[in-house]
Chains A and B, each alone.
Chain A
Amino acid sequence: RKKRFLQLLLSPRQEQTGGSFLQSRAFSKSKLTWRLMGEGYSRQLSIEDQRYMLRLAFRMWSEVTPIEFEEEVTSPASMIDIRLGFGTGRHLGCTRAFDGNGQEFAHAWQLGDIHFDDDDQFTTLNNPNGISLLKVAVHEIGHVLGLPHTYRTGSVMQSSYIPHEVGFELDWLDRKAVQQLYGVCEGPFDTIFDWIRKERNQYGELVVQFNTYFFRNGWYWLYENRNNRTRYGDPIALSVGWRGISYEGIDAFVHIWTWTKYATYFFKGTQYWRYDNENDIAYTADAKGKRYPKLISEGFPGVPSPIDTAFYDRRDQHIYFFKDSNVIAFNVNTKQVNGYPKRIVDVFPGVVLDDHPISNLNAVYYSYKYQSIFFFKNNFFWKVVNERDKQRNPSLPYNGLFPKRKIGDQWFDICNVHSSVLEM
């Protein structure tokens, strides 16, 4: 008891100093190479199955850390960061022998290699018998990255193998543990939006649901707000989930929703598409037969292009287009931009002096979860003052911008993966 009490007293300081120690035990690169060594193939599974499982295991860590893992098959073995292999007994020049079938199934060396005991029965995803190669690989990669064992229920870093009935994933605490070593994922987004869809529930009632999406380059993530993470297995290529639009570099998504209008648009450069929500594909032509993509200048007269981003404000039924340091409010009913352009800082003033994105926004996003508008630039976001904020503090300026915060502090674990595993 005395020992634990002392540790509790010392723990804040230990964590502070421990952080610097931990930093020295982590890879310093953001891209790591790996290879399943030719002399270390398993006798039990096909080579393709082995490589697929390992590729997936590395991808799972990529999805929660700012590290990309690339399978490298051409460089000399000495240049590979993480080498993997199967062996039995005395194996692969390792000084620690395996013990045969049962008990020890693998081991790994921090910042080093991973060995699997081929006397144990490893299985693939669809086989419930034996030991899941995927789960063991994820565990051992955790060691390579610097994580120790834990006995916390639900952790992938438990020392004993726990069979799982359905697909396992890295839970919140495992993510935070590895992020203590490598930091969180950061980076600008191209556009962020909530996509509304109407569905009938089990009682036949029409309900409106939304999903939150983040776009970056040619990828997108579905963000599960209730779980504070992205959907397992994301990112996905834009071409898979959003058919008919440009497959990278989308500037904006706009959903016009009034009593008489309901339309969604994607913008890129000087062009835009209208999206068919029912069929989940972009329209190829409008009602008059004019093909998409169309020029922004045709569909939205008075709006200069290319734009930085845009969003639709239901409060006043205007689309706000942002370009450089200016904003242009387009009235969807009159199709006019009277009184614009104006400076962003004038229409959306900062609540705190000198805390404002000023220009070249990446994205502007209305969140149904937070019922607020957010401005995004680089790794930061600014929340726009809404009705509730004004009620609490009437001195706040209308459409004011609160001080910036890091995107990763509110939307968690939106991480890139290596392009070679994007299609998995």
Chain B
Amino acid sequence: EKLFHIRDHSDILSISEQQASPILDQKAAQKYLAKYGWTEQVNWDNNEDQNSADEHPAPKELLDILQEGSSLSRQVGNTQTEPTKSIVYVQALKEFQEVNGLPMTGKLDEATKDAMNKPRCGVPDKKVLLNDTSNFNQTTHLNSTTDNGDGGTNATVNSKE
């Protein structure tokens, strides 16, 4: 039996042994985006061979870029260079901001952190099904949450490749 001291057990009901790590910095945000398939589709198939994003840390050079504090959006600018992994993360962040009705800054602002820290389902938003011999991938139907007054009937933008 779990140890409690209050008659109605509220001390063990309200305080959990383990708290989820909040998304506070860019490293955590990267993990979040990777975990839920925003940077790369997640292999998700019947609880087998499940690769958690925790087991795939971001490349060191990318972490160095982020930890320097420089804004990746400045680096991207209007260049037409081939996308680098850093750009992938910025684009993923912008995409996340867009579907959550946030300004697409590419920066981890407070509103973006709040959105990432909301209670959510653990199923990735973008995932590939391993056992599917076709090239069918499941992706989230990315529909902006901004209300345009028509009761949420915006056209669906399917981000499948």
Residue of A nearest to B157 (CB): A4
Binding-face segment, A104-112, A313-321, A376-384 = A104-112
B67 at the interface (CB under 8 A from A): no
The interface residues of chain B lying within 8 Å CB-to-CB of A18 are 136
CA–CA, A14 and B136, complex, Å? 10
Interface residues of A in 237-277 (CB under 8 A from B): none
Asked if A107 and B121 sit within 8 Å, CB to CB, the answer is yes
Chain B residues with CB under 8 A of A139: 121
B20 x A109 contact (CB < 8 A) = no
Which of A95, A101, A108, A155 is B19 in contact with, Cβ under 8 Å? A101
**Would you call B46 and A112 a contact (CB within 8 A)?**
yes
B142 beta carbon closer than 8 Å to chain A: yes
Contact A152 B156 (CB under 8 A): yes
The tally of residues in B whose CB lies under 8 Å from a CB in A reads 53
* A151–B145 touching, CB < 8 Å: yes
Q: Which of B105-154 contact A (CB under 8 A)?
A: 115, 117-123, 125, 127, 129, 132, 134, 136, 138-145, 147, 151-154
Query: A119 CA to B2 CA in the complex, in Å?
Result: 14
Q: Across the interface, which residues of A come within 8 angstroms of B136, CB to CB?
A: 18, 21-22, 25
Q: How far is the CB of A17 from chain B (nearest CB, A)?
A: 9
CB of B132 within 8 A of CB of A106, answer no
Nearest-neighbor residue (CB-CB) of B135 within chain A: A21
Total interface residues in chain A, CB < 8 Å: 54
Kindly list chain B residues whose C-beta atoms are within 8 Å of the C-beta of A216. Answer: none
By the criterion CB–CB under 8 Å, are A103 and B20 in contact?
A: yes
Q: Decide if A150 touches B140 in the complex (CB within 8 Å).
A: yes
Tell yes or no: A159 within 8 A of B by CB: yes
Known: A103-B20, A151-B100. A96 touches B120 (CB 8 A): no
Q: How far is the CA of A24 from the CA of B158 in the complex (A)?
A: 20
Q: Tell me if B80 is interfacial: C-beta within 8 Å of chain A.
A: no
A88 at the interface (CB under 8 A from B): yes
B17 with A160: CB separation less than 8 A: no
A-B contacts besides A150-B140, A159-B123, A160-B119, 17 pairs, CB < 8 Å: A21-B132, A96-B47, A97-B52, A100-B21, A103-B118, A104-B120, A109-B46, A136-B121, A140-B123, A143-B123, A148-B123, A149-B125, A152-B156, A154-B151, A159-B140, A161-B119, A161-B120
Please report B residues at the A interface, Cβ cutoff 8 Å: 2, 13-14, 16-22, 36, 44-50, 52, 99-100, 115, 117-123, 125, 127, 129, 132, 134, 136, 138-145, 147, 151-154, 156-160
